[in-house]
């Protein structure tokens, strides 16, 4: 199943017709919030995502999807600036097509991306946020392709937070997650681990983007989209 996201009815009809003629089933959405809801409910094999959407734009949708899914994404955009394309690819888009486009090319690109996925390009258990990747199965973290060396306790903390973006964990809850890994017996040991994670993970540890403090309570992984 292909999820086609575009707010231009003529483009949706044209692309849908060609995709269905190519043997794909297609569902559609005309805005970013609807696209996220459909993606979560239908679990498509691939998403064709317009960059210029009303409300939540395509980059925001891509960012949100990459927090929870490895679904292949092809960006569809009228923007020609290189920075827009690069941002989309850095956020985890697999390919992009610039409008006006050939519907036959769209079908060919969809097939090519799906072949790559079937070849094992996408891995389960991989959390992507911008240029940050957390491999839950391999117990490793990279940023912009460069490995970030975390201790077992630090990785346990980070993975706990990253699997639940936006959810606040108290120090006591996080300490429970570390019991038997890096247990030190007092809540403030969590602060030391978080400080070390930020030092290794964040571009500017003083202004963290990923691991955020919820004052008076604990910590959370950013849920910004």
Q: Is 142 exposed, middle or buried (0-12, 13-18, 19+ CB in 10 A)?
A: middle
The answer on 131 and 57 residing in a single domain is: no
Q: Which residues contact 83 (CB under 8 A, 6 or more apart)?
A: none
How much is the pLDDT for 119? 53
The answer on 134 and 101 residing in a single domain is: no
Which residues partner with 140 through β-bridges? Answer: 135
Structural domain containing residue 44: 2-118
Q: What is the model's pTM?
A: 0.53
60: CATH: 3.40.50.2300
How much is the pLDDT for 83? 62
Spatial distance between the Cα atoms of 66 and 38, rounded to a whole number of angstroms:
15
- Whether residue 181 contacts residue 158, with contact meaning beta carbons closer than 8 Å, is answered with no
Given 75, 101, 118, the domain boundary residue is 118
Spatial distance between the Cα atoms of 78 and 107, rounded to a whole number of angstroms:
18
Q: Which two tokens stand for residue 173?
A: 């809850």
The answer on 12 and 71 residing in a single domain is: yes
* Tens digit of pLDDT at every position of the chain (225 positions): 999 999 999 999 999 999 998 888 899 999 999 999 999 888 898 999 998 888 888 888 988 888 888 888 998 877 655 566 666 677 778 888 888 888 888 998 888 888 776 654 445 567 777 678 888 778 889 987 889 999 888 888 898 888 777 778 888 888 877 764 444 445 567 888 899 999 999 889 999 989 999 998 899 988 654
Beta 218-221 vs 169-170: how paired, if at all? antiparallel
Beta 132-135 vs 126-129: how paired, if at all? antiparallel
The answer on 130 and 100 residing in a single domain is: no
The answer on 217 and 177 residing in a single domain is: yes
Spatial distance between the Cα atoms of 182 and 196, rounded to a whole number of angstroms:
13
- 170 backbone φψ class: left, alpha, beta (φ>0; ψ -120 to 50): beta
Q: In what order do the strands lie in the sheet with 126-129?
A: 126-129, 132-135, 140-143, 146-148
The answer on 154 and 136 residing in a single domain is: yes
For the chain, how many structural domains are there in total?
A: 2
The answer on 142 and 97 residing in a single domain is: no
């Amino acid at each position: 199943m292909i999820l086609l996201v575009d707010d231009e009815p003529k483009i949706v009809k044209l692309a849908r017709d060609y995709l269905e003629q190519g043997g794909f089933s297609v569902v559609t959405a005309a805005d970013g919030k609807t696209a996220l809801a459909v993606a979560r409910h239908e679990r498509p094999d691939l998403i064709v995502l317009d960059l210029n959407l009303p409300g939540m734009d395509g980059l925001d949708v891509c960012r949100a999807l990459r927090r929870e899914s490895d679904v292949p994404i092809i960006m569809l955009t009228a923007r020609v600036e290189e920075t827009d394309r690069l941002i989309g690819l850095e956020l985890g888009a697999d390919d992009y097509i610039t409008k006006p486009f050939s519907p036959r090319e769209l079908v060919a690109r969809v097939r090519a991306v799906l072949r790559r996925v079937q070849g094992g390009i996408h891995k389960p258990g991989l959390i992507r946020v911008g240029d940050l990747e957390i491999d839950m199965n391999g117990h490793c973290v990279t940023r912009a392709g460069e490995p970030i060396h975390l201790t077992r306790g630090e990785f346990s903390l980070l993975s706990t937070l990253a699997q639940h973006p936006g959810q606040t964990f108290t120090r006591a809850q996080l300490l429970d997650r570390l019991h038997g890994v890096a247990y030190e017996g007092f809540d403030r040991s969590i602060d030391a681990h978080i400080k070390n994670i930020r030092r290794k993970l964040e571009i500017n540890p003083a202004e963290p983007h990923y691991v955020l403090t919820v004052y008076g309570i604990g910590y959370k992984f950013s849920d910004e989209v």
